[in-house]
Structures are given as structure tokens and as C-alpha cells.
């Protein structure tokens, strides 16, 4: 957790760790920043009893009314069996509803409930606060540049969706 605190007055048997090589890797910085942001995000969502995946599901259902579970799973890059437990939990809390499709009775249309929308809105306010806190030092211009750069990386990887 915390950084090692050197005891006063004695020469530390080990000096500060040298991160020279790792610092040369973009992926290293990306991963550390992501770890930090995901950790803070989970703490942000905790009061709402939401986690990264359940919140993401809520968001996508709000933005995509009547989305199917399989489409949601694909959008979230989650295996279908794992999607089931996420949806089960959200439905159990009556934040979303499953509704059989008339035209394809295998599938469900997922919709947000009133309670779900209310929670979504509160959580999203908190998430925007978390984002603002963690990217405060970045002027909007820089932040946009970062996102642009990241999108380029995603495009190269062939997983860009926008």
C-alpha cells in the first residue's frame, strides 16, 4: 500500500527503486493510470452498491432502450454467462426489467425502471465528479488530445466502436 518510509538517520539499505525501463513504456503508464481510475471509480460507485460492470450495464441500457442481453454482453465485452448474473442482480433490485420480445421470444429487451433511472442519475453525478477530480489538472484541450490518442490506439487494435 504505502510507500516505504525510511527510518531516520540510517542509510537505507536499498535506494529508491529505478523505474527507468518501465517508464519508457506507454502501456505501463496507461495501466497505472487505469488502475488508479478504476480503483477510485469503484469507491465512487460503492455508496450506490454498483460496480464497474453493473454501472456500465445501467448506462448502456439507458442509452439503448430495449437492448438485448447478448448485444449488451458484446458491447461490454463480457461473456454471456457472466452477463446473466449482472442482469439478474440489477433486475433483482428492480433497477431494470426483462421483457420478452414479441418478434423473437428467445430474447429479452432490457429497460431501465424508474428506480433504475433515478439511481443511474445519482451515480452518474458522482462519476462525473470522480472524473473531474482525477483529470482536474488537465485542461479540456489536453484531455481531448489524450482521448484522441487513445482512440487511435484502439483503432490500430481494431476494437474502436466510434
Q: What is the footprint of a second copy within residues 97-156 (CB under 8 A)?
A: 101, 103-104, 107, 109, 124, 127, 130-131, 133-138, 142-143, 145-147, 149-156
Q: Shortest gap between Cβ of 117 and DNA (angstroms)?
A: 21
Measure CA 96 to chain center: 19
How many other C-beta atoms lie within 10 A of the C-beta of residue 95?
24
Rounded CA-CA distance 49/27 in Å is: 31
Contact map string, positions 40 to 79, toward a second copy, x by CB under 8 A: xx--------------x--xx-xxxxxxx--x--xx-x--
Contact 62, 143 (CB under 8 A): no
User: Segment near DNA (CB under 7 A), from 22-30, 102-110, 114-122, 151-159?
Assistant: 102-110
Q: Which regions of 2-161 does DSSP assign to beta strands (E)?
A: 67-68, 96-100, 108-112
Nearer to a second copy, 114 or 156 (CB): 156
- Residue 126 Cβ vs DNA, minimum distance, rounded to whole Å: 19
Q: Which does 30 bind (CB under 5 to 8 A by kind): a second copy, DNA, none?
A: a second copy
CB-based contact 53:72 (threshold 8 Å): no
Minimum gap (Å) between residue 20 Cβ and a second copy: 5
Please tell me the count of residues contacting DNA according to CB under 7 A: 24
Angle in degrees, 0-180, between the axes of helices 114-134 and 52-63, rounded to the nearest 10:
120
* Least Å from the CB of residue 22 to DNA: 16
Which residue, 10 or 148, has its beta carbon nearer to DNA? 10
For the chain, first and last CA: distance in Å? 37
Q: Return the C-alpha torsion angle 129, 116, 35, 153, nearest 10.
A: -90
Q: Enumerate binding residues for DNA (CB under 7 A).
A: 7, 51, 53, 68-71, 73, 78-84, 87-88, 98, 103-108
Amino acid at each position: 500500500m504505502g510507500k516505504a518510509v525510511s527510518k531516520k538517520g540510517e542509510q537505507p539499505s536499498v535506494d529508491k527503486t529505478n523505474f527507468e525501463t518501465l517508464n519508457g513504456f506507454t502501456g505501463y503508464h496507461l495501466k497505472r493510470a487505469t488502475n488508479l481510475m478504476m480503483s477510485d471509480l469503484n469507491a465512487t460507485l460503492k455508496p450506490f452498491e454498483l460496480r464497474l460492470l453493473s454501472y456500465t450495464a445501467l448506462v448502456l441500457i439507458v442509452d439503448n432502450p430495449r437492448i438485448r442481453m447478448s448485444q449488451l454482453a458484446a458491447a461490454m465485452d463480457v461473456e454471456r454467462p457472466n452477463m446473466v448474473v449482472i442482469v439478474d442482480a440489477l433486475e433483482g433490485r428492480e433497477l431494470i426489467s426483462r421483457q420478452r420480445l414479441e418478434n423473437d421470444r428467445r430474447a429479452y429487451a432490457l429497460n431501465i425502471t424508474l428506480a433504475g433511472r433515478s439511481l443511474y442519475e445519482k451515480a452518474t453525478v458522482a462519476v462525473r465528479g470522480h472524473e473531474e477530480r482525477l483529470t482536474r489538472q488537465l485542461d479540456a484541450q489536453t484531455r481531448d488530445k489524450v482521448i484522441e490518442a487513445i482512440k487511435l490506439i484502439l483503432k490500430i487494435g481494431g476494437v474502436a466502436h466510434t
